């Protein structure tokens, strides 16, 4: 056998062998391959959806950060009504019974999810209520987005003063500033009795475009709600 003949025969043999193997493999595998391909496609679709969902989450998060509302919120009302206690309860979830005077202003920050997935960053300005701070108070009001107007449910005098507080807020922070009217120290009503007319408080708040909420910094009741409600009102007033 010449070298040339050998090569042709060998190549031919290889070709037949390859074709046969290929055909057999094709027959066996084509169904399985199809299934495998389908599975791969399903995995890819699933992963893509996951990525899309994940991307959606990121986009939502970035959007909420970008458009995140940074709001200056005032805590106002007479001395010792519980402004500092309310903000301490809200931010640190604690209560201190001993009274410490707020000198000038304390500023604390907290993120509030006022609706599912919607976050606002509050910088809460806890303003000293004493007469002697009156001259600097007005400067703290500038740029405020909203206010909690607080009185003490056990001291009628602090309730009577709220109109004056509201006038002051509106004068320095703007006529249409959203606020929430807060009767604090609700836990003491049982012992002390009610010294104000609830219906009157409610209708005063409603007449002024607000709502009336009774809170207790001591038990924590309605404290989160007060801040969340104020945040909602601020955001809604801007829509």
Q: Which of 184, 181, 180 is nearest to 216 (CA)?
A: 184
- Looking at residue 80, what DSSP letter applies? T
Instruction: Answer for the pair 154, 185: CB distance below 8 angstroms, yes or no.
Output: yes
Q: Is 84 in the site for Mg ion (CB under 5 A)?
A: yes
Token couple for 176: 């249409």
Which one of residues 76, 88, 102, 216 is an interface residue with Mg ion (CB under 5 A)?
102
- Looking at residue 68, what DSSP letter applies? -
Which one of residues 145, 169, 178, 218 is an interface residue with ligand GDP (CB under 6 A)?
218
Q: If you search the block for the tokens 């409603």, which residue do you land on?
A: 206
Q: Is 99 in the site for ligand GDP (CB under 6 A)?
A: yes
Q: Is 222 in the site for ligand GDP (CB under 6 A)?
A: no
Q: Is 229 in the site for ligand GDP (CB under 6 A)?
A: no
Which one of residues 112, 166, 179, 185 is an interface residue with ligand GDP (CB under 6 A)?
185
CB 102 to ligand GDP: min, Å: 5
Select the binding partner of residue 210 from Mg ion, ligand GDP, none (C-beta < 5 to 8 A, by kind).
Answer: none
For β-strands 118-127 and 105-115, DSSP reports them as antiparallel
Q: Is 80 in the site for ligand GDP (CB under 6 A)?
A: yes
By CB under 5 A, the count of residues binding Mg ion is 3
Instruction: Answer for the pair 84, 130: CB distance below 8 angstroms, yes or no.
Output: no
* Exposure b/e, 10-42, CB count within 10 A at least 16 = b: eeeeeeeeeeeeeeeeeeeeeeeeeeeeeeeee
Q: Which of these ranges, 8-16, 42-50, 94-102, 207-215, lies near Mg ion under the rule CB under 5 A? A: 94-102
Using CB positions, name the residue nearest to ligand GDP: 82
Residues that bind Mg ion (CB under 5 A): 83-84, 102
Residues that bind ligand GDP (CB under 6 A): 79-85, 96-97, 99, 102, 129, 184-185, 187-188, 216-218
């Amino acid at each position: 056998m010449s070298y040339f003949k050998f090569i042709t025969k060998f190549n031919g043999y290889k070709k037949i062998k390859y074709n046969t193997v290929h055909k057999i493999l094709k027959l066996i595998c084509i169904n399985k391959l199809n299934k495998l391909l389908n599975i791969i496609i399903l995995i890819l679709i699933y992963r893509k959806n996951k990525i899309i969902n994940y991307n959606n989450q990121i986009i939502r998060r970035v959007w909420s950060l970008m458009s995140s509302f940074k709001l200056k919120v005032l805590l106002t009302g007479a001395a010792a009504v519980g402004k500092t206690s309310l903000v301490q309860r809200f931010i640190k979830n604690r209560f201190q019974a001993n009274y410490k005077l707020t000198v000038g202003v304390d500023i604390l920050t907290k993120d509030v999810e006022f609706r599912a997935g919607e976050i606002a960053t509050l910088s809460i300005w806890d303003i000293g209520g004493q007469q002697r701070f009156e001259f600097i108070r007005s400067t703290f009001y500038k740029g405020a987005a909203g206010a909690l107007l607080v009185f003490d449910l056990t001291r009628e005098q602090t309730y009577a003063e709220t109109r004056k507080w509201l006038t002051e807020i509106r004068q320095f922070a703007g006529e249409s500033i959203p606020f929430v009217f807060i009767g604090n120290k609700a836990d003491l009503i049982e012992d002390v009795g009610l010294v104000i007319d609830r219906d009157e408080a409610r209708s005063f708040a409603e007449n002024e475009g607000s709502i009336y909420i009774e809170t207790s910094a001591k038990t924590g009741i309605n404290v989160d709600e007060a801040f969340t409600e104020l945040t909602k009102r601020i955001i809604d007033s801007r829509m």
